[in-house]
Amino acid sequence: MKRVLLLLAKGFEPLEAAVFTDVLGWSSEEGDEQFEILSAGLHQEVKASWGLTILPDIILGIPEALPKKLANEFDAVAVPGGFEEHGYYIDAHDQVFSDVLAAFNNSRKIIASVCVGALPLGKAGILNGRKATTYHLDNGERRNQLSEMGATIQNDLIVVDKNLITSSCPSTALDVAFTLLGLLTDAQNVEKVKKAMGF
At residue 138, the pLDDT reads: 85
Helix (H, G, I), strand (E, B) or coil at 8: coil
Q: What is Dmax (Cα atoms) for the chain? A: 42
Which residues are CB-neighbours of 124 under 8 A, at least 6 positions away? 97, 98, 99, 101, 102, 105
Cα 106 to Cα 176: distance, rounded to the nearest angstrom: 21
Global pTM value: 0.97
pLDDT at residue 125, rounded to an integer:
97
Domain count, the chain: 1
CB 24 within 8 A of CB 4: yes
Question: Taking the CB of residue 189, how many other CB atoms lie within 10 A of it?
Answer: 17
Residue numbers of the chain with a pLDDT score lower than 50: none
- Identify the CATH number of the domain in which residue 51 sits: 3.40.50.880
**Cα–Cα distance between 67 and 88 in angstroms, integer?**
20
Cβ contact 13:82 at 8 Å? yes
In this prediction, residue 64 carries a pLDDT of 81
What local confidence, expressed as pLDDT, does residue 137 receive?
A: 87
Structure confidence at residue 63 (pLDDT): 84
What is the per-residue pLDDT for 55?
98
State the first-to-last Cα distance of the chain, in angstroms, to the nearest integer: 25
The strand order across the sheet containing 2-7 reads 58-59, 35-41, 2-7, 76-79, 110-113, 164-167, 158-161
pLDDT for 41: 98
Angle between helices 173-184 and 187-197 (to 10 degrees): 140
Q: Which domain holds residue 189?
A: 2-197
What was the pLDDT predicted at 119? Answer: 98
